[in-house]
Structure 1
Amino acid sequence: MNLHRMLLERKAAGKPVTVAIIGAGKFGTMFLSQARNTDGMHIVGVADLNTNRARSQLKLACWPDEQYAAATIDDALKNGATLISDNADSLITHPAVEVIIEATGDPGAGIAFALKAIEHGKHIIMVNVEADAVAGPILARKAKAAGVVYSLAWGDQPALIADHVDWARAAGFKVVSAGKGTRYHPTYHQSTPDTVWDILDKYMKIKDRNSINPKMFNSFVDGTKSGIEMTAVCNATGLHSQAEGLSFPPATRFEHAEICKPKADGGVLERAGVTEVTSSVYRDGTDVPHSLVMGTYVVFESDSAYSEECFREYSMLPDKSGKYSCLYRPIHMIGLELGISVASAALRKEATGAPIMFNSDVVATAKRALKAGEMLDGEGGFCVWGKQTPASASLDQGYLPLGLAHNVKLKADIAEGQRLKWSDVAYDPANIAVKVRREMEAAFARPNTQAA
C-alpha cells in the first residue's frame, strides 16, 4: 500500500519514473489521461506510426499542447515534456527510459518490441495481451534472465483476475475457478466485422460507426478476447483451461459460487482449478440481471466448517451448500489504472501478474467452412475465432495460435468449428513472432513447466 509514497520520494529526489508508451489507442490514451497528473511519473515519449493521431489522442486526454511539444527525447527529459514520435525503437533504446508500455495490440509487433525492451534493460508492461497469449511465458523467462520485469497490465482483466487468485491463495483458500463476465451467445462465434453491428446495436449506442474499429470490437464479441485473456490468466496463475475451453454460462454476479464450481457439485466446470467466463445473456437472448459483464471474480473453497460459517456471516456470496464462495469486482477501468503496473515494476521490481508457466493456449478455430487458398485475417475477422485450449493439447496436436493466424494462406480445407494446425497454413518460419513462438514450444514441450 505504498506505491504513492514511493512515487512521491522519486519526485522529491528529482528522479521521476521515466516511461515510454508504444501505441496511442484507447488503452494508451486512458493511461495518458491519468499519467499527466501522476506525481513521480514522467511520460518521456509516445510512439505511434500515426503521429497526428497520437497528438489528437493527447488532446482528447486533456493534455495542453505545450506538454507534448518536445523536439527530442533529451528535450523531453530536460523540460519534463513528452516527445511524439513514429520511432518506437528510439524510445526503447534510450538509456534514460525505465519502463516501456507495449499497447499496440499487434502480436508480432508486441513480441518484437518486448524483446528489444528486454535487450536494453527496460521493464515491459504488456498491455498487448494478444502477444502475451502467443509467447508470454518465454518473454517472461527472458525478462527474468535479464533482470527486468515483464508484467501484465493492471486495469485490464487478466491482471485483476491474477490478483484475485493470489489473494485467495495467500489467505489460505483453494481456488476453484476465476475469470470475468462478458456478453456472449453461442451464435456470436460466427460474428464478423460486417454482422457485429447487429449485436453491438442491441447494447451500445454508437452514433458514429466510423469512430470504432469493427474488427477489434468483433474480437470481444466472437469469444476470441475471452480466450486470449483466460489464457493469460492460466499462464500467470497455474490455473488450467478446460478441455473444450470456455462454456460461457449465464450468471448474475451473485450466482458465481453456485455456477462456477465442478459439475460433480452441481456447477458447470469439468473440474476445479480452471478459468471460466460468464455471460450477461441467457441462451434465449434475454439479458441476465445484475450480470458481471465488465467485472472479474474468483470462486474459492475452504475445508473448515468454521470458515464456511464465516462466509455466510460476512455476506461472501456462498453457494447453497456453503462449501464454495465468491469474491468479485464489478468493473475494470483499463488504462485509467495502468499506472499501478508502471509504479510496481519500476519501484518494487514486481509484476502485476506475469506468466509463470505454459498451461493454456488460444487456438485459431474456423468460423465457417474454409477453403484451401483462402487468406486468414486473424483476430476479430471473417475466418477464425480464438478458442481457449489446454497447452498440452495444443502442443500434442500442433494447433495454430490465434495470434499467428493473420495474413497466412490456407493449404487445406477446414470444416466449421475445426481448430487449425500449423500444417494447415503456409507460414513464414523466419517471421520474428513465429520464431519466438516456436522457441517457446520447444522450451515448454512438457506443459506446466515453470517459466520463472
Structure 2
Amino acid sequence: MNLHRLLLKRADQGRPIRIAQIGAGKFGSMFLHQARTTPGMHVLGIADLSIPRARAALARIHWPDGSYDAASLDQAMRSGATHLTQDAMALIADPRVEVVVECTGDPAAGLRHARAAIAHGKHVVMVNVEADVLAGPLLAQEAARAGVVYSMAYGDQPALVCEMVDTLRTGGFKVVAAGKGTKYLPHYHASTPATVWGFYGLTEEQAKAGGMNPQMFNSFLDGTKSAIEMAAIANATGLEPPMDGLLFPPAGTAELPSVLRPHNEGGILPRKGMVEVVSSVRRDGTEIADNLRWGVFVVFEGETEYARRCFTEYGVATDPSGRYAALWRPYHFIGLELGVSIASAALRREPTGGSEAWRGDVVAVAKRPLRAGEVLDGEGGACAWGKCIPAARSRAMGALPIGLAHGIRLTRDVPEGAILTIEDAPPDPALDAVRIRTEMVTSCGG
C-alpha cells in the first residue's frame, strides 16, 4: 500500500520508471491517459505498426502536442516526451527502458516481444492474455531465471481475481471458487463476426463509427475471452478449470456463495478450488438485478463455527448455511489501473499475478460442422470458440489451442461442438508461436 509513495520518491530523484509500450489500442490508450498524471512514470517510447493510428490515439486521450513524436529516444529522455516508432524490438532493447508493456492482443507478437524483453533484462507487464495463456508458464520460468518480473496486467480481470485470492489465502481462508461475471447465453458460442452486433444491440454502421472490431468483440461474446481469462487465473493461483469447460451459471452477487459451492452441498462445482464465470442473465434472457457483468469475485469458506459467526456479525454475504461466503468487486477499470502493475514490478519486484504452472488451457471448439480444406480464422472468428479445460486433458488429446487456430487449413472434417486437435489442423512448426508453445508444453507439463 505504498506504491504511490515509492513513485513520488522516484520522481523526486529524477529517475522515473522508464516504460516501453507495445501497441496503442484501446487498453494501451487507457493506460497512456493515466500515465501522464502519474508521478514517477515516463512512457519513453510507444511502438505501433501504424504511427498515424498511435498519434490519433494520443490526441484522442488528450496528450498535448509536443508531448510525443520525439525524434529519438535520446530526445525523449532529455525532454520527458515520448518517442513513437514501428520498431518494437529496438525499443525493447534500449538499455534505458525498465518495464515493457505488451498490449498488442496478438498472441504470436506478444510471445516474441515478451521473450525479447526478458532476454534484455526488462520487466514485462503482459496485457496480452491470449499470449500468456498460450505460453505464459514458460515465459514466467524464463523471467525468473533472468531475475525480472513477468506480470499480469492490473485492471484486467485476471490480475484483480489473483489479488483477491491472495488476500483471502493470506488471511487463512480456503478459496472455493473464483472468477468473473459476463453476459452469457448458450447460443452465443455460435456467434460470428457477421452476427455479433445484433447481440450487442448495434447496427454494423454504429459499430464501424465507433471503431469497434467485430472479431474482437465476438471473442468477448462467444465465451473465448472468458475461457482465456479463467485459464490465466488457474495458471496463476492453482485453482482448477472444469473438465469440460466453464458452465456460466446465472448468479447475482447474493447468490454467489450458494451457486458456487460443491454440488453435493447444493451448488454447481464438482469440487472446491475451481475457476468459473457467472452470467448476468438467466437462461431465458432476463437480467439479474444484482449481476456482476463487469466484475470479479471469490467464494471462500468459513471452516469453523467461530468464523461463520464472525461472517454473520459483520454482514458478510453467505449461503444459507453460513459456511460459504463471497467477496466481489463490481467493476474493473481496464487499462486505467495498469500503472499498479508497472509500479509493483519496478519498485517491489513483484507481479500483480503471474503464471506459476500450466494448469489451464483454452482449446478450439468447432462452431459448426467444419470441412477439410477450410482455413481457421482464429479467436472470435466464424469457425471456432475457445473452451477452458485442464491442461492435462488438452495435452493428452493433442488439442489445438485457440491461440494457434488462425490461418491453418483443416486436413479432415470436424463435427460441430468437437474440440479440434493438432491432427485436424496441423500448425506450421516453423512459426515462432508454434515453436514457443511446443517448448512450453514440453517443459511445463500439464
Q: What TM-score do the two structures reach when normalised by structure 1?
A: 0.97
Amino acid at match of 1:146: A
Deviation at 1:290? 1.5
User: How does 1:46-61 map onto structure 2 within 5 Å?
Assistant: 46-61=46-61
TM-superposition CA deviations, 1:373-422 (whole Å, max 9, x none): 10000000000000001011011111111100011111110011100111
Equivalent residue for 2:400? 400
Amino acid at match of 1:279: S
User: How does 1:129-148 map onto structure 2 within 5 Å?
Assistant: 129-148=129-148
Equivalent residue for 1:219? 219
Give the Cα separation in 2 of the matches to 1:133 and 1:243.
Answer: 17
Amino acid at match of 1:389: I
Equivalent residue for 2:245? 245
Equivalent residue for 1:375? 375
Deviates more, 1:98-107 or 1:306-315: 306-315
Please give the secondary structure, in 2, of the residue aligned with 1:65. coil
Equivalent residue for 2:333? 333
Equivalent residue for 2:355? 355
Give the Cα separation in 2 of the matches to 1:351 and 1:204.
Answer: 40
Please give the secondary structure, in 2, of the residue aligned with 1:76. helix
Give the Cα separation in 2 of the matches to 1:27 and 1:55.
Answer: 15
Matched, 1:259 2:259: yes
Please give the secondary structure, in 2, of the residue aligned with 1:46. strand
Question: How many residue pairs get matched?
Answer: 446
Deviation at 1:207? 6.3
Deviation at 1:430? 1.2
Equivalent residue for 1:179? 179
For residues 156 and 206 of structure 1, do their structure 2 counterparts lie closer, same or farther at Cα, with a shift above 3 Å needed? farther
Please give the secondary structure, in 1, of the residue aligned with 2:442. helix
**Structure 1 residue runs of 4 or more that deviate by more than 3 Å after TM superposition:** 202-210
Equivalent residue for 1:65? 65
Please give the secondary structure, in 2, of the residue aligned with 1:232. helix
Deviation at 1:210? 5.3
Deviation at 1:84? 1.0
Give the Cα separation in 2 of the matches to 1:131 and 1:71.
Answer: 31
Please give the secondary structure, in 2, of the residue aligned with 1:211. coil
Deviation at 1:305? 0.5
Give the Cα separation in 1 of the matches to 2:202 and 2:111.
Answer: 36
Deviation at 1:106? 0.4
TM-superposition CA deviations, 1:55-103 (whole Å, max 9, x none): 0101111100110030001110111000111111111000000000000
Deviation at 1:444? 2.3
- Name stretches of at least 5 consecutive residues in structure 1 with no aligned partner: 448-452
For residues 215 and 209 of structure 1, do their structure 2 counterparts lie closer, same or farther at Cα, with a shift above 3 Å needed? farther
Amino acid at match of 2:268: V
Please give the secondary structure, in 2, of the residue aligned with 1:426. coil
Amino acid at match of 2:70: A
Matched, 1:126 2:126: yes
Deviation at 1:204? 12
Deviation at 1:287? 1.2
TM-superposition CA deviations, 1:417-441 (whole Å, max 9, x none): 1001111113110111111110111
TM-superposition CA deviations, 1:3-50 (whole Å, max 9, x none): 011111111111000001001000000000000111000000111001
Please give the secondary structure, in 1, of the residue aligned with 2:42. strand
Equivalent residue for 2:82? 82
RMSD value over aligned CA atoms?
1.4
User: How does 1:89-168 map onto structure 2 within 5 Å?
Assistant: 89-168=89-168
Amino acid at match of 2:284: D
Give the Cα separation in 2 of the matches to 1:170 and 1:396.
Answer: 34
Give the Cα separation in 1 of the matches to 2:415 and 2:165.
Answer: 37
Give the Cα separation in 1 of the matches to 2:243 and 2:207.
Answer: 40
Identity of aligned residues (%): 54
Equivalent residue for 1:450? none
Give the Cα separation in 1 of the matches to 2:114 and 2:105.
Answer: 13
Give the Cα separation in 1 of the matches to 2:424 and 2:144.
Answer: 34
Amino acid at match of 2:79: N
Give the Cα separation in 1 of the matches to 2:379 and 2:67.
Answer: 35
For residues 418 and 209 of structure 1, do their structure 2 counterparts lie closer, same or farther at Cα, with a shift above 3 Å needed? farther
